[in-house]
A and B are shown apart, each in its own frame.
Chain A
């Protein structure tokens, strides 16, 4: 696992099967555990590398939002029923620590501050909420998005929160006073298809690279038939200081694709996981060109991913009920 990264050598090393199609996944910061969620509304903890599974039940609906605490001891999950659940995941018998009725409707995203003290959650109620990770108490909530909020990330300083919505609006909030500092327009990720009378797309995922001072936003474009899953994956690369779009990373030959999540590699390579009628793909982009520098075809349609930078490990959640662990080296 400590070989130097080589994205062209990416390959699957583990695949563990649950009973139902998977939705989301994360790897714990210490790299010893992965979590997935599935269409049976449960969470599955997987020990790495053995793949021993523990199922956590409690949510009344599907879970799209997950994040680990920095020390890997706790996991927070946000369900479509609007509940936030804090789990102790390293005990012999993982257990529910607390539950909060957090949002009205789906929770779409959760993120934890770099110091681990604050959790942010966003959802279909178009509200941003902050929570104390120590007590579970709500610290603040505010509105400002006009449509469903799909994604949330903390800036590495912990002073700013970044949220993205259906309309392709990326708002940058000052965490201290909850004021909107500015809006970055990621509108290419939004499609209003008047023929189908549908609005589609949105900022499905966000990621910030501290050294490069760049923000990437993932989703879809060219949604000529949103109801028929005809749309192509797209990642937008913005300069953080000026908010200017630097690259539109599109892909050729993926007529049915959507970037469910984007993340960075340390060297500034942007990675997106695409799922759709074209199948499951890991797409890699650098700043030298708009099209991808490499794509890795996954064995099945993927719906989420998480990269563990220290081990070059990638977890992907799949429709075929598998959690797959790949490594980006030989």
Chain B
């Protein structure tokens, strides 16, 4: 990677507005040093990549805190088990909640880690830890797994962003999720099955005019960047260029182009469409996709809400995993199902479960992850980990190792060598092949 040559530009900080307008010859760009109009895409797109691997990651973020007892680590017939039962899976001896009948049939592809202990019951802090592999501190900020994947895995020649977050409403993907990697590795946020907003040419502008607009923008930018180049301006510049490539490949984001039968199999709800979108993006080479399913923060009527939510998730997720396998993609795609924490074994007075980070579960599949495996164990009532305890730091290492990234190495950022993952943690080698 070549390092950027940024100008400090003390005197040039105050770009002379009159001179700028004179040079541009247009008041239309006044007030904007980097000209362009795709505001929603400026949260950051990748500019460079360290290496090109054909590996990908997809994360299912079960927002709010999926109950491990109603999913991956059921305890039927116990004080904490609740009304849900366990069912056998395609792996003899392994059972999951009866709320996951379709997923149970794909268990031979999955690896359940039942000994997760992150010791953090706050939503924001827990989510940060699970997505960055580090505990949040005031002194440092760390990139999320999506940003790391975009930096390490994305092949930019495909013209697609490397870090995409899919949510029902298109929200999320904000904040400093790329940290020191730079904003170009931040996510693009998609709303369900819709292409990114503002990726069509404005009405009334023909191809020739469009070319002229961008030539004009590039000339302005080049002149500006000769004196005022920073990581931020690089990111902006890159964003516009990638946005143009994105416009050319807009069809990649159009789930309606998938066969109707596939749309039916995934389910006619937001999550079904998001999963199909994820499959489509991965097939087109996007290195990281996060699908968010909301909401699992079930302090009240935990069981009713989990029946509803997992009723959507189960079939869509099982179809997704099965499709990746059938299409030969699972070997090159790491699938992770995580939350910010699990839920209390204790059932509260509102039939709810509260936040619980001391003994919960995540699921992985694909890449170098062992198939049909269960790692870790909780006690009979699910209150403590009794074997195979892992935390967020170990999991972050494991995600990267599962896609061929040596998580014990460093990344060069502006001349500094920064550890990819927490040096105090290590991968869970036992779940890797």
A197-B168, A198-B295, A276-B350 known; A227 and B300 CB under 8 Å? yes
Interface residues of A in 27-59 (CB under 8 A from B): 39-41
Query: For the side of the interface on B, what is the size category?
Result: 20 to 34
B172 to chain A, nearest CB (A): 12
B221 to chain A, nearest CB (A): 40
Interface residues of B in 82-107 (CB under 8 A from A): 82-85
Whether the Cβ atoms of A61 and B349 lie closer than 8 Å is no
Whether the Cβ atoms of A229 and B83 lie closer than 8 Å is no
A residues near B307, Cβ cutoff 8 Å = 105-106, 124, 148
B401 to chain A, nearest CB (A): 34
Contact partner, A229, options B64, B168, B295, B300, Cβ 8 Å: B300
B176 at the interface (CB under 8 A from A): no
A residues near B308, Cβ cutoff 8 Å = 199
A21 to chain B, nearest CB (A): 8
B162 to chain A, nearest CB (A): 27
In the bound complex, how far is the Cα of B269 from the Cα of A197, in angstroms? 12
B17 to chain A, nearest CB (A): 42
Whether the Cβ atoms of B83 and A62 lie closer than 8 Å is yes
A residues near B76, Cβ cutoff 8 Å = 60-61
In the bound complex, how far is the Cα of B300 from the Cα of A229, in angstroms? 5
B residues near A62, Cβ cutoff 8 Å = 82-83
A197-B295, A227-B297 known; A39 and B85 CB under 8 Å? no
Whether the Cβ atoms of B79 and A20 lie closer than 8 Å is yes
Q: Mark B294-325, 1 if CB is under 8 A from A, else 0.
A: 11011111000101100000000000000000
B residues near A329, Cβ cutoff 8 Å = none
B residues near A319, Cβ cutoff 8 Å = 349
A218 to chain B, nearest CB (A): 16
A228 closest partner in B (C-beta)? B299
B366 at the interface (CB under 8 A from A): no
In the bound complex, how far is the Cα of B300 from the Cα of A227, in angstroms? 5
In the bound complex, how far is the Cα of B295 from the Cα of A226, in angstroms? 11
A40 to chain B, nearest CB (A): 8
In the bound complex, how far is the Cα of B299 from the Cα of A200, in angstroms? 13
Contact partner, A228, options B77, B168, B294, B300, Cβ 8 Å: B300
A81 at the interface (CB under 8 A from B): yes
A321 to chain B, nearest CB (A): 11
Interface residues of A in 194-212 (CB under 8 A from B): 196-200
Task: State the majority secondary structure of interface residues on B.
Answer: loop
Contact partner, A301, options B85, B299, B347, B349, Cβ 8 Å: B349
In the bound complex, how far is the Cα of B77 from the Cα of A124, in angstroms? 21
Interface residues of B in 59-84 (CB under 8 A from A): 64, 76-77, 79, 82-84
Q: Tell which of A124, A197, A226, A275 has the most Cβ of chain B within 10 Å.
A: A197
Q: Tell which of B82, B83, B298, B305 has the most Cβ of chain A within 10 Å.
A: B83
Task: State the majority secondary structure of interface residues on A.
Answer: loop
A61-B84, A61-B85, A62-B83 known; A227 and B298 CB under 8 Å? yes
In the bound complex, how far is the Cα of B77 from the Cα of A40, in angstroms? 7
Interface residues of B in 188-246 (CB under 8 A from A): none
B residues near A197, Cβ cutoff 8 Å = 168, 294-295
A residues near B298, Cβ cutoff 8 Å = 227
Whether the Cβ atoms of A227 and B295 lie closer than 8 Å is yes
A residues near B347, Cβ cutoff 8 Å = 21, 39
Whether the Cβ atoms of B85 and A81 lie closer than 8 Å is yes
Contact partner, A106, options B64, B83, B294, B352, Cβ 8 Å: B83
B residues near A39, Cβ cutoff 8 Å = 79, 82, 347
Whether the Cβ atoms of A227 and B64 lie closer than 8 Å is yes
In the bound complex, how far is the Cα of B205 from the Cα of A264, in angstroms? 69
A216 at the interface (CB under 8 A from B): no
A19 closest partner in B (C-beta)? B79
Q: Tell which of B295, B297, B305, B350 has the most Cβ of chain A within 10 Å.
A: B350
A171 to chain B, nearest CB (A): 20
A residues near B350, Cβ cutoff 8 Å = 229, 275-277
B293 closest partner in A (C-beta)? A197
Interface residues of B in 327-354 (CB under 8 A from A): 347, 349-350, 352
A residues near B294, Cβ cutoff 8 Å = 196-197
In the bound complex, how far is the Cα of B301 from the Cα of A22, in angstroms? 15
A298 at the interface (CB under 8 A from B): no
A235 at the interface (CB under 8 A from B): no
Whether the Cβ atoms of A60 and B300 lie closer than 8 Å is no
Whether the Cβ atoms of A60 and B85 lie closer than 8 Å is yes
A63 closest partner in B (C-beta)? B83
Interface residues of B in 242-298 (CB under 8 A from A): 294-295, 297-298
Q: Tell which of A124, A198, A228 has the most Cβ of chain B within 10 Å.
A: A198
Whether the Cβ atoms of B79 and A80 lie closer than 8 Å is no
In the bound complex, how far is the Cα of B305 from the Cα of A39, in angstroms? 18
A301 closest partner in B (C-beta)? B349
Whether the Cβ atoms of B299 and A198 lie closer than 8 Å is no
Whether the Cβ atoms of A227 and B83 lie closer than 8 Å is no
In the bound complex, how far is the Cα of B304 from the Cα of A226, in angstroms? 11
A residues near B301, Cβ cutoff 8 Å = 200, 226
In the bound complex, how far is the Cα of B307 from the Cα of A124, in angstroms? 9
A residues near B77, Cβ cutoff 8 Å = 41, 60
Whether the Cβ atoms of B300 and A226 lie closer than 8 Å is yes
Q: Mark A154-197, 1 if CB is under 8 A from B, else 0.
A: 00000000000000000000000000000000000000000011
Whether the Cβ atoms of A229 and B85 lie closer than 8 Å is no
B350 closest partner in A (C-beta)? A229
* 7 new A-B contacts at CB < 8 Å, known A39-B79, A61-B84: A21-B347, A39-B82, A39-B347, A40-B79, A60-B76, A80-B83, A198-B295
A to B CB contacts below 8 Å, 12 in the list: A20-B79, A39-B79, A61-B76, A61-B85, A106-B83, A196-B297, A198-B305, A227-B64, A227-B295, A227-B305, A229-B352, A276-B350
Minimum-distance CB pairs A-B, first 6: A229-B300, A62-B83, A80-B83, A319-B349, A229-B350, A61-B83
